[in-house]
Structure 1
Amino acid sequence: MQLKTKDFQSLFTDGLNGIAGLFEKNKFELRIAGGAVRDLLSGKRPEDVDFATTATPEEMKRMFQAAGVRLINNKGEQHGTITARLHDENFEVTTLRVDVQTDGRHAEVEFTTDWEKDAERRDLTINSMFLGLDGTLYDYFNGYEDLQNRKVRFVGSASLRIQEDYLRILRYFRFYGRVANEPGAHDPKTLEAIRENARGLASISGERIWVELKKMVTGNHAAHLLALLYELELAQYMGLPPEGNVEEMKQVWSCAQSLSPKPMTILSALFRRTDEVDKLDLRLRISKEEKTLGLFLVKHRRDLVKGQDEDDRLRPYTDFIIDSREVDIQSKVCELLKYQGEEKLLAEMTSWSIPRFPVSGHDLRKMGITSGKEIGTILQGLRDTWKKSRYQMDKEELLSTVHQS
């Protein structure tokens, strides 16, 4: 088949036309590779476009340098990747290759001119296709058919592909969430291969696992896929709590999925104690912001709930924010409301601006009150009075109550 969509045609900028012309002039093949092909066939314009070629890195460097094309960030050259910059665009081009030796994390590669061999070393059939610059699809493992049928399959043997890089276990789940229509339509043999190779995830860096896990949690079927991590005994190698609260996670996902929750908001439901957040951080090296959100949700998901006042059910949350000294507290409370499935209160909280307490210690000193302890006590009392007024009393009204006392 030949692809002729608007998304495909829109890729042909001055930069790409210039790069393509160089490869054609030097008689090297150049094709779009991997995820960009999958996206184009799915009717999406890819955010990133990678290219594959029959030219070796040395041949590409000579070709680009002779044409005056700038080369940048060529740290990937040992793996066959050269990045060229033309007309303010970067083009990442990788030589066709085969894996000579792998240890489940890294691979020693050998360059080739055989497109099918390069496709064979890729993880999933839907990621193993190439697209010629004339729109011709090159599909050696029925990836297009799988994409149309919403199937996620490994190229060839699932066990072999996984053993080449154990992170592919999580990539399978991530793409399942992007492609499959139904949550439970897995090939049993694929799941068995994943179970048998679960221990291999222990050798994968936490940072790589976290990238894939976050993408999986924010995709479709996230509750099903997280539960599957436990069923297949993967969680223990990923920093997730071995006895995670899967049922609460399913409930939170059901309530929050339409509210764009952060990954940690969903994952927090698995944690029964705050120390489990610490253990996740040790394994995956999550950001400080992600860790503090996880700790906040586990600590407050039960004790901070909507008020009984029909006219102001948001009040317990707003009072909490006013009293808190935590950084970015309002966004954390928004995530808590997502966790609790409080869609209406979330909308109110999103549009609510934190009011500024209008009285300071300086105001009290101007009134002749000099004791630091007394000032602190009065300020706290004024703050309570201000909260009871739903933050409506101004400075003069509040200070007038000091005179009365």
Structure 2
Amino acid sequence: MTTVSGDWLTSAGAQSVLAMLEDSGYSAYAVGGCVRNALLDVAVADVDISTNARPQTVIELAKKAGLRSVPTGVDHGTVTVVAEGEGYEVTTFRADIETDGRRAVVQFSDDIGQDAIRRDFTMNALYADRRGLVLDPLGGLPDLRARHLRFIEDADLRIREDYLRILRFFRFFAWFGDPEAGMDADALAAIAGNLDGLSQLSRERVGSEMIKLLSAADPVMAVAVMEQTGVLMQILPGAVSRSLGPLILHETTLSLAPNALRRLAVMGFSDGPSLRLSKAQQRQLDLYRSLIGATEPPKVIAYRHGAKVATEAIALQAASFEHPLTLPDVPSLQAAASFRFPVIAADLMPEISGAALGRTLKHLENLWIASDFTLGKEALLALRGEG
């Protein structure tokens, strides 16, 4: 008997939803990522619940229990029940009766085995009741303990049901797989045979998966195999994995937290719109790309963008150009980040105005930087006519 524990299992919200269903005679289990993560002692973000109660029944039970329900995906069996301020997706056991590589037509079921078999990987087909007792219909526990990521039954069939599972395979391997044991051979063969299916995926889904994958502590092996199998070229044209490993080593040395955009940049990728990145993410990606080729010293980068960005620039440049990592002078970078250019526009007006004002300010700032930030306001103003 395997049991699981975790904050989510003892939370009032999760317990109230599970009890709402169980006390009315229905099966109710937390399922998927929350069970997997709890068994691995990894933080849990969301708690999904699986039940043999039909969606309308879930809505009625929630009303009786004084809980709010939202029919977020009722045609596919999902109702979100809000308890203690948290939303819990409650989904009826179901079986796929038709798939097209992106969407599935489902029918509801009373069989937890049918529900389990439609999922992607054995380690994600784990269920736990309100007491923490784990149900393992498909033998996922041994795979989870071995950190062996394996498709449920026929890998080729699972992929053709939803081609996003190709990217999910690499994402889950990056987070939960065992690099020393390598990747499942059947999975890789099925992936290689279904590359064309990646073109069916929306760019939003691709972007979301890649950001999650590259946020793992060490996605090097996952990305390298994506490159070897042709997946990387399909979804991120022009990106290469060569500099990713060195960057991650430097990140560790410099105590930089994982950052997907920094890692995209070192892979040579800059087309954020193709991944439907937000404008803020695209600006960050552009900054990282510019830092790789920047010729300004770290102290100047710290002045312009902050000490952390200057440290990131050191890591990006060392990884990209394959030269030894130079440890930053952290106090110097922190001091530079606090510097303020001593001249303002009002100091030059009305003698200088219009476009000339901007040019002069830029010229004086360059002189100030070239002096290692030592020239004072009066000295700089004395040089204002030299631009």
TM bucket by the smaller chain?
0.7 to 0.9
Letter in 2 for 1:11: L
Q: Deviations over 1:69-125 (max 9, x none)?
A: 2113x2211111111123323222110011110101010111001001101111001
Give me the TM-score of the superposition, normalised by structure 1: 0.83
Aligned to 2:247: 252
Q: 1:287 aligns with which of 274, 278, 282?
A: 278
* Mapped partners of 1:207, 1:337: distance in 2: 31
* Mapped partners of 2:327, 2:61: distance in 1: 60
Q: Deviations over 1:276-320 (max 9, x none)?
A: 633x633x22222333344444444234264xxxxxxx335347x
Q: 2:313 aligns with which of 317, 325, 336?
A: 336
Kept in 2: contact 1:56–1:95 (CA 8 A): yes
Aligned to 2:322: none
Kept in 2: contact 1:265–1:336 (CA 8 A): no
Using the TM superposition, give the Cα deviation of residue 37 of structure 1 relative to its aligned residue in structure 2, in angstroms.
0.7
Instruction: Give the stretch that moved more between structures: 88-97 or 258-267.
Output: 258-267
Aligned to 2:368: 386
The gaps in structure 2 that reach 5 residues or longer are: 319-324
* Mapped partners of 1:388, 1:336: distance in 2: 20
* Mapped partners of 2:207, 2:380: distance in 1: 50
Kept in 2: contact 1:338–1:346 (CA 8 A): no
Q: Deviations over 1:126-177 (max 9, x none)?
A: 1001011122211012211111111111111111111111111111111111
Using the TM superposition, give the Cα deviation of residue 48 of structure 1 relative to its aligned residue in structure 2, in angstroms.
1.2
Q: Deviations over 1:253-292 (max 9, x none)?
A: 4433552242122222332xxxx633x633x222223333
| Pair 1:96 & 2:88 matched | no
Q: Deviations over 1:224-271 (max 9, x none)?
A: 221211211112321332xx4432344334433552242122222332
* Mapped partners of 2:328, 2:230: distance in 1: 37
Kept in 1: contact 2:93–2:115 (CA 8 A): yes
Using the TM superposition, give the Cα deviation of residue 187 of structure 1 relative to its aligned residue in structure 2, in angstroms.
2.2
Kept in 2: contact 1:256–1:340 (CA 8 A): no
Q: State the secondary structure of the residue aligned to 1:26.
A: coil
Q: State the secondary structure of the residue aligned to 2:73.
A: helix
Letter in 1 for 2:113: E
Using the TM superposition, give the Cα deviation of residue 350 of structure 1 relative to its aligned residue in structure 2, in angstroms.
5.8
Using the TM superposition, give the Cα deviation of residue 334 of structure 1 relative to its aligned residue in structure 2, in angstroms.
4.7
Alpha carbons of 1:245 and 1:23: their partners in 2 closer, same or farther (altered >3 Å)? Answer: closer
Aligned to 1:302: 293
* Mapped partners of 1:90, 1:148: distance in 2: 29
Kept in 1: contact 2:348–2:357 (CA 8 A): yes
Aligned to 1:309: none
- Count residues in correspondence: 378
Aligned to 1:71: 69
Aligned to 1:110: 107
Aligned to 2:33: 35
* 1:256-275 → structure 2 map (5 Å cutoff): 256=251, 259-271=256-268
| Pair 1:355 & 2:353 matched | no
Q: 2:170 aligns with which of 165, 168, 173?
A: 173
What is the CA RMSD across the aligned residues, in angstroms?
A: 3.0
Aligned to 2:301: 317
Using the TM superposition, give the Cα deviation of residue 378 of structure 1 relative to its aligned residue in structure 2, in angstroms.
5.2
Aligned to 1:26: 24
Alpha carbons of 1:229 and 1:183: their partners in 2 closer, same or farther (altered >3 Å)? Answer: farther
Using the TM superposition, give the Cα deviation of residue 33 of structure 1 relative to its aligned residue in structure 2, in angstroms.
0.5
Aligned to 2:321: none
The gaps in structure 1 that reach 5 residues or longer are: 307-313, 322-327
Using the TM superposition, give the Cα deviation of residue 361 of structure 1 relative to its aligned residue in structure 2, in angstroms.
3.4
- Computing the radius of gyration from Cα coordinates, the structure with the larger value is 1
Instruction: Give the stretch that moved more between structures: 55-64 or 354-363.
Output: 354-363
Alpha carbons of 1:161 and 1:381: their partners in 2 closer, same or farther (altered >3 Å)? Answer: closer
| Pair 1:277 & 2:276 matched | no
Kept in 2: contact 1:296–1:332 (CA 8 A): no
Instruction: Give the stretch that moved more between structures: 247-256 or 142-151.
Output: 247-256
* Mapped partners of 1:377, 1:135: distance in 2: 68
Instruction: Give the stretch that moved more between structures: 135-144 or 59-68.
Output: 59-68
Alpha carbons of 1:261 and 1:64: their partners in 2 closer, same or farther (altered >3 Å)? Answer: closer
Give me the TM-score of the superposition, normalised by structure 2: 0.86
Q: 1:182 aligns with which of 174, 179, 202?
A: 179
Kept in 2: contact 1:255–1:340 (CA 8 A): no
Aligned to 2:42: 44
* Mapped partners of 1:87, 1:315: distance in 2: 49
Q: 1:209 aligns with which of 192, 206, 209?
A: 206
Kept in 2: contact 1:33–1:50 (CA 8 A): yes
Aligned to 2:10: 12
Kept in 1: contact 2:4–2:38 (CA 8 A): no
* Mapped partners of 1:54, 1:201: distance in 2: 33
Q: Deviations over 1:48-73 (max 9, x none)?
A: 1111111000111122223332113x
Letter in 2 for 1:3: T
Q: 1:164 aligns with which of 158, 161, 172?
A: 161
Q: State the secondary structure of the residue aligned to 2:19.
A: helix
Alpha carbons of 1:79 and 1:331: their partners in 2 closer, same or farther (altered >3 Å)? Answer: farther
